[in-house]
Amino acid sequence: MAFLNNLLNPPSKTSTFTHSDEVWNAEFSPDGKTMAGAFSHSNDPDRLFIRLWDANTGKLIRKFPGHTHYITALTFTPDSKRILSGGMDDTLRLWDAVTGKEQKTLNGHTGPISAVAISTSGKKALSASWDRSIRLWDLASGKELQIFRGHTNWVRSAQFSRDGKFMVSTARDGTTRLWNLASGKEIVKIIHFEDGEWIVITPEGYFNASPGGAKHLNVRVGNQVYSIDNFYEKFF
C-alpha cells in the first residue's frame, strides 16, 4: 500500500539512494517520508545494516546494525514509527525508526526469514520462513502466538487480510493457502498449473476447479488411486 501511495503521490523530485552493498529489500514508510532498505555485504559482516533515507532528498538518515547474517525482509508499522526486519540469522528484529534502536528480537524460526508483514492495527506480525512455517507474533510483548504448518517447501510470503482475521501465504510448493488466524487452521489450498487451470481444495478433501482443472486431481483410497471422476459428485 505504501508503494502505491508513493506512485500516486511521488516525491517532489527524483532521488537516488546510493550504496555499494547487496540490496535484499526496500520499502517506503506508510507516511511516504522515508524509505528503508535491507543491505548486506557478503565479505564484511560488519556491513549488515538496514538503512533509512529521506524519501524526498535521498539523504541517509541512519543505519540499523544488529543482524548477524543477510537481512532479507522488512516492513514498517502502519504509523511509520517502527520497522520489523527478518534475516538469514533466523531472527526477527523490531526497531525504533526514529532513534534507530533495536526494541526486540523475536526468536523461534529454525531457518532464514523470507517475508514479514504487520497487521493494519500494528499489533500483530507475520513471518514466513525457509523452515516451511509461518508464525504469528504479538509485537507489544514479542510473544509467539501461533505457528502455521502445512506448506511442503519454504514459504515465500504471508499477508494479513485487512480485517486481521485471515492470512494468505505462498510457497515454493506451488500452492497459495488461506488460513484462519484465530484457530491456526488452513481453510483452503489453491494450486495453479502451467496450462492455466487451477484447483481449490479444503483440508476435508472438498474441491472446486476451473473447467479443466479436475484432470490434475486423483483420489487415493488405501493403495489404490482413482480418477476424480469416480468421486466428483461427492467432493465437488
CA distance linking residue 227 with residue 162, whole number of Å: 39
The reported pLDDT for the residue numbered 1 is 46
Helix (H) or strand (E) holding 8, with range, is helix 2-8
The grid coordinates listed for 215 are 484432470
Mean predicted lDDT score pLDDT of the chain: 87
In the chain, what percentage of residues exceed pLDDT 90?
58
- CA geometry: angle 90, 37, 73, nearest 5 deg: 30
The reported pLDDT for the residue numbered 69 is 87
Q: In what order do the strands lie in the sheet with 92-96?
A: 71-76, 82-87, 92-96, 102-106
- pLDDT for 38-58, tens place per residue? 876 655 555 678 889 998 888
Neighbours of 216 (CB within 10 A): 15
**For the residues of 185-217, what is the DSSP string, one character each?**
-EEEEEEE-TTS-EEEE-TTS-EEE-TTGGGG-
Cβ pair 137, 154 in contact under 8 A: no
Most confidently predicted of 1-15, 167-181, 204-218 = 167-181
The reported pLDDT for the residue numbered 4 is 47
The reported pLDDT for the residue numbered 124 is 97
- pLDDT for 199-218, tens place per residue? 999 998 888 889 888 888 77
Rounded to two decimals, what is the model's pTM?
0.83
Neighbours of 215 (CB within 10 A): 15
The reported pLDDT for the residue numbered 41 is 60
Q: Among 26-30, 32-36, 190-194, 215-219, whose mean pLDDT is lowest? A: 215-219
Q: How confident is the model at residue 9 (pLDDT cuts 50, 70, 90)?
A: low
Residue 36: Cβ-neighbour burial (10 angstroms; 0-12, 13-18, 19+): buried
The reported pLDDT for the residue numbered 205 is 83
Beta-strand relationship, 22-28 and 34-40: antiparallel
